[in-house]
Amino acid sequence: MTKASPPGRPSKAAQRLSKQVILQAALPIAQSKGVDALSFRILADQLDVTPMAVTYHAGSKKQLLSDLVELAFAGVLDGVNGGNPVKRARCIMATYYGCALKNANLLRAILDDVTLMSADLMNVAEELKVSTDQLENSDGGDVLVHVLIDYAHGFVLSASSGEDNQLTINDFLRGIDWILAQAAGDLAAT
């Protein structure tokens, strides 16, 4: 049960409360336990404030999830360098996979409600399309982009499905390399 606040000046914890503080407390919970384990009451207890204070700063649960997605995937492509289209697409996929695996529970929430998708996530598809459009066997549309991203999502969901899971990023990249070799017309690489 949440403690009743005494009348008068709010506690120092309540004075420091902000959306950023709430997001920093909520992200590890979402990452480790999933979005269903995330509640305003749990956050309030952790931050030593009332659930109403959390609601005031965070908004609705959907807004909180949207803000968490934005935080978790912010700058997901910051480490991606140029290079030929195959290397760039591979780097995009490796970088995205690493971030998505760390945030697999948020990825599940996005797959349940695509309105949670952030601008940085949409940028992954856009940047991937720039690279794949330059490949010899590109479809000229979004099919190859969808195949690569759907493959990444399936792999993330599989790799995060249990503690004894043996899937690695190298397993993921073997599949990405095969798909990109086909798209590049480099059949000798397969």
Q: Is the pLDDT of residue 14 over 60?
A: no
Same domain, 105 and 54: no
Q: Is the pLDDT of residue 13 over 50?
A: no
Question: What is the model's pLDDT at position 61?
Answer: 96
Q: How confident is the model at residue 9 (pLDDT cuts 50, 70, 90)?
A: very low
CA distance 115 to 118: 8
Same domain, 61 and 115: no
Same domain, 49 and 108: no
What letter represents residue 134's amino acid? Q
Contact 169, 97 (CB under 8 A): yes
- For the chain, what is the domain count? 2
Which pair of tokens denotes residue 155?
């792999």
Same domain, 34 and 100: no
CA distance 23 to 25: 5
Question: What is the model's pLDDT at position 7?
Answer: 54
Q: How confident is the model at residue 81 (pLDDT cuts 50, 70, 90)?
A: confident
pTM of the model: 0.86
Q: Is residue 41 part of a domain?
A: yes
CA distance 36 to 41: 13
The residue with tokens 């599949």 is 175
Q: Domain limits at 30?
A: 12-71
Q: Is residue 156 part of a domain?
A: yes
Average pLDDT value over all residues in the chain: 90
List pLDDT tens digits, range 112-150: 999 999 999 999 999 999 999 999 888 888 999 999 999
CATH of the domain at 19: 1.10.10.60
Same domain, 107 and 171: yes
Same domain, 45 and 92: no
